[in-house]
Structure 1
Amino acid sequence: MNSQEYNLWVRRSGMLTIAFALTIVAIKLFAAIDTNAASMLASMMDAMMDVAVSLLNFVALRYALKPADDEHRFGHGKAEAVMALFQAAFLAGAAFVLLYQGFNRFFVPAPVGAISSGIWAMLVCSGLTLTLVLLQRWVIKKTGSLAVNADQAHYRGDLLMNAAVLLALYLVQNSLLWADAVIAILIAGYLLFNAAQLLRESMVHLLDEELPETDRQQILQQLQQMSGVLGVEQLRTRRAGPRVFVQLRLLLPQDWSLQKAHQVTDLAEQQIAALYTDAEVIIHPDPSPHAVSATD
């Protein structure tokens, strides 16, 4: 997929996510007011966080998808990782608020009402969330976008949250009032777990972590199979949004002409670029000491 198609699908995903998220927030807000359940409040707060994060993602993606310019020679792809870092902070903040609310409700129980209304609201929200997750999964397979993947992590968690809230309402309906507070605390714990995962993933991009070892080995194998290539040194890789950056030294016979070395270097760059849809490859050809071409 080229950059133009990537931009199109990621933007469509952002707009679709915002529309779904606003609908879900409206339903959960009504249900939280109607039921006065801590677990419902926790789910509604998470949905509101999703809206805020999706809006910020949409803005960040517009920036991240801008082409490279004079001030950003490597493009703007890391904006996605920065936004994922903010998402982790937002999730952690919401989790601590919910922990306080959950423990407070556990020791000072409050009445819960309109349980049937809450159950129907959660069923509708679950259907909407499942539809959104499936659509986002399809976009991720096409684009590999970090921001869309971070968004999907939230909504996958929402499916579990919705199931937990439904369980809490059922238990409260059967006179187990403590279940409402316990579910709210569990939801907060799950939010903290998601925050830690997003923090890890964003730092991989921001700190220029190498590509997975399987990818690096694939690059090495592609180059070492080329005729005339004597070795590969100083392989360095990193990722920024959809772009992959690869730098290395290519060892060639020392008696080769500059033109021949240049031709093989160009071919090596094409071999690596074929492995990734959006790659920037820099190869420095070096003569291998005491090595000459096999024809001599």
Structure 2
Amino acid sequence: MQADSQIRLNLSAGLASVGVALVLVLLKLWALMQTGALSIAASMADSAMDLLISGAGLWAIIYAARPADDDHTFGHSSVEDLVSLGQALFVMASALSIGWLAIRRLVSDTPPDLEAEGAGIAVMLVAVVLTAGLVLWQRRVARRTGNKVVAADMLHYVGDLLPTIGAILALVLSKTMGLSKVDSVIALIAAGLMLHGARGIGANAWHALMDRAADPEIVAGIETIAADWPGVRGYHDLQTRTAGSKLFVNLHIELDGEQTLREAHDIGAALKRGIVAAYPQAEVIIHKDVWHG
């Protein structure tokens, strides 16, 4: 697939994400005004964060697609990590706010009654359908392009389905059984899930910004490719780091000093292509040393 086609697909997923998030915020705001349900407030806050995250993700996709230049010789993919770190902090703050409100309602002797549960249920069902449709499209794009930003956004929206379904459950129980406190319990669970997700997003972004090595499985895979490559007598000083969806690899290989420069170049170039074939997002630099075995 051509790079331009991949960029268009990634942009389509980003635009769809922003559009769905905006529609969900407006629908849930109306439902919250009708019902006063805290679980809907939690779901709306989550959708508002989705809108922010999706907008930042769309901008990151556009910016990261820019080619390397004199000021950014390794490209612009680190913007994805910066955006992710900011998103994680925002998610944590919102989750703590929702959790605090949920606890206050749980310990209150007179929690507010929910109203217009039917309208709230209808809105949340629409939210489930829209979110599920977005997830299916993002999954298709991620599989075709391998874009990790789209894949991560897809997983985020998969996680959003749980608090949305929880809000529906809270409204159903309130309408049929009068169990209004279930609303606060579900909101508290949703806040915990948001904190857990934000921790993972923030940790991954922080590690990438600190030039942490790639996943051990990826490092082991590169080592296996280098060790088994025809003409390579040995290798050393393998270094990896990630930046956004890109993987940067530096590797020294040991070659027979008696062969021609062209032969040595061809071995190194072929190995580079082999690593990129296994890890399409990789930027690989091969250094050639003389084998002293």
TM-score, length basis structure 1: 0.91
* 2:21–2:50 contact (8 Å) kept in structure 1: yes
* 1:137–1:152 contact (8 Å) kept in structure 2: yes
Aligned residue identity for 1:146: K
* 1:153–1:194 contact (8 Å) kept in structure 2: no
Q: CA deviation at 1:28?
A: 0.8
* 1:69–1:75 contact (8 Å) kept in structure 2: yes
Pick the aligned partner of 2:143 from 126, 138, 141.
141
SS in 2 for 1:229: coil
* 2:213–2:241 contact (8 Å) kept in structure 1: yes
**Inter-partner Cα distance in structure 2 for 1:19 and 1:133:** 13
* 2:149–2:245 contact (8 Å) kept in structure 1: no
Residues 181-210 of structure 1 deviation map (CA, whole Å, 9 limit, x = unaligned): 111111111110110121122234223333
Q: Counterpart of 1:222?
A: 225
Q: CA deviation at 1:2?
A: 4.8
Could you say which structure has the larger radius of gyration?
1
Q: CA deviation at 1:39?
A: 1.0
Aligned residue identity for 1:29: L
* 1:126–1:162 contact (8 Å) kept in structure 2: yes
Pick the aligned partner of 1:247 from 250, 264, 277.
250
Aligned residues: 290
* 2:163–2:187 contact (8 Å) kept in structure 1: no
Pick the aligned partner of 1:175 from 175, 178, 186.
178
Structure 1 stretches of 4+ with a deviation exceeding 6 A read none
Pick the aligned partner of 2:265 from 262, 267, 271.
262
Residues 86-117 of structure 1 deviation map (CA, whole Å, 9 limit, x = unaligned): 11111101101101211122233112110111
**Inter-partner Cα distance in structure 1 for 2:151 and 2:83:** 12
Aligned residue identity for 2:211: D
Residues 104-157 of structure 1 deviation map (CA, whole Å, 9 limit, x = unaligned): 222331121101111111111111111111111122222333332332233112
Q: Counterpart of 1:110?
A: 112
**Inter-partner Cα distance in structure 1 for 2:67 and 2:236:** 30
**RMSD, aligned CA:** 1.8
SS in 1 for 2:278: coil
State, as a whole percentage, how many aligned pairs show the same letter: 36
Q: Counterpart of 2:122?
A: 120
Residues 213-267 of structure 1 deviation map (CA, whole Å, 9 limit, x = unaligned): 3333332333333333210111112232343322111111233343432332222
Residues 11-62 of structure 1 deviation map (CA, whole Å, 9 limit, x = unaligned): 1111111111111111111110000111111111111111122112222222
* 1:143–1:242 contact (8 Å) kept in structure 2: no
Q: Counterpart of 2:153?
A: 151
**Inter-partner Cα distance in structure 2 for 1:114 and 1:105:** 19
Aligned residue identity for 2:155: A
Alpha carbons of structure 1 residues 187 and 242: separation in structure 2 relative to 1, 3 Å: closer
TM-score, length basis structure 2: 0.92
SS in 1 for 2:205: helix
SS in 2 for 1:10: helix
SS in 1 for 2:179: coil
